[in-house]
Amino acid sequence: MLHVHAHPDDESSKGAASTARYVDEGVQVLVATCTGGERGSILNPKMDRPEVLENITEIRRKEMDAAREILGIRQEWLGWIDSGFPEGDPLPPLPEGCFAAQKVEDAAAPLVKLIREFRPQVVTTYDENGGYPHPDHVMCHTITVAAFEAAGDKDAYPELGEPWQPLKLYYHHTFHYERMKALHDGMVARGLESPYAERLQDWKPDPENERRITTRVECAQYFAVRDKALLAHATQIDPDGAWFAVPLEVHQEAWPTEDYELARSLVESELPEDDLFAGLR
């Protein structure tokens, strides 16, 4: 299985518990990280120091190494430069040479090469909105879809190795309304303050989006592994912040799955699924 992510830490915040489950079952899992996260903000106030910012590239690589060991995966850098998250009205242009400014055919090339070398059956990434509208996340989606198709085409990138066609492509659906509402209700039922109360007030349910979820992977027993991998990304994850405001046992009881959308499949499987390898076993 190959997960394609935009930045170091995305592999731990999206699908990490199901990753840990599959690793435990003997599946070989590789994470392709598109960028080094060089332009990412320091989101943990305890790490917001000048010496950290000055060495952010090296530090984020070390954090990725730690998370990789915790999850028991392989990991490869695709070598692109973080685009940063543009803000303002109008939005500023993308930095020259960054990942999101590349031509799709160029940006997809190292991923095609990796797919042909690793030969995954299953590939995961984000939906067309990137999960959230960071330009690197959107570009990550775009190149993954392109590489999924091109890797098996003998006429595409012939210099990058023997063709290999993955059989299933999934999109992560992590921060969706039903899950947030279940976690919120789980907190309220225990008399605890929910970190999602204000967000849910302004969040109109979108049944069409919820229906996109085709596959729910039971992995509650691996949530602790996910949390440990998240904490390895110390510049990005505040242990006293919103990520950990909901206790582990509430997560496990209120929403024990990680959720995906089967976006492309070359094998038959019955929907809804409970396994990313449904139809391949």
Element (H, E) at 35: strand 30-35
Ramachandran angles phi, psi of 42, nearest 5°: -85, 110
The β-bridge relationship of strands 30-35 and 2-5 is: parallel
Binding site for Zn(2+), by residue number, is 7, 10, 137
Residue 76 three-state SS: strand
Binding site, by residue number, is 7, 10, 137
- Backbone torsion region of residue 275, taken as left when φ is above 0, otherwise alpha when ψ lies between -120 and 50, otherwise beta: beta
Q: Report the b/e string of 233-265 with b at 16+ CB within 10 A.
A: bbbbbbeeeebbebeeebbbebbbbbbbbbbeb
C-alpha to C-alpha distance for 62 and 67, rounded to whole angstroms? 9
The β-bridge relationship of strands 74-80 and 2-5 is: unpaired
Chain centroid offset of residue 89 CA: 28
Residue identified by tokens 């518990």 is 17
Pull the structure tokens for residue 219: 């992995």
Q: Report the b/e string of 137-162 with b at 16+ CB within 10 A.
A: bbbbbbbbbbbbbbbbeeebbeebee
Nearest residue to 255 via CA among 193, 196, 167: 196
